[in-house]
Amino acid sequence: MLCCYCSHPVLQRQPMTVPGQGPAHRDCYQQHLIEQRQFLGLNIRVLSDNQLAELQELVLMESNARQQANADIEVW
């Protein structure tokens, strides 16, 4: 069986099955997701500029909230 992304034999390194695609190497699949700008099923490429800006703001707000929560914990 050949990797659906690089066309090399799958059994040589970290084989997996990608639903709807077929057999693949785990690293080839991860590289594919990066190239397609997908994260946890969210295809970032299809977002409009406004949606992307809103997502960026939400991520920044969540990151700031987590940093603040972690800063509140003091170790004696």
pLDDT for residue 12: 81
CB atoms within 10 A of CB 47: 15
Question: What is residue 55's predicted lDDT score, i.e. its pLDDT?
Answer: 95
Q: Is 40 helix (H, G, I), strand (E, B) or coil?
A: coil
Q: What is the pLDDT of residue 10?
A: 92
Name the pTM for this structure: 0.60
User: Sign of the C-alpha dihedral, residues 56, 58, 61, 67?
Assistant: negative
pLDDT of residue 74: 62
- Give per-10-residue mean pLDDT for the chain (76 aa): 93 90 94 88 92 95 89 66
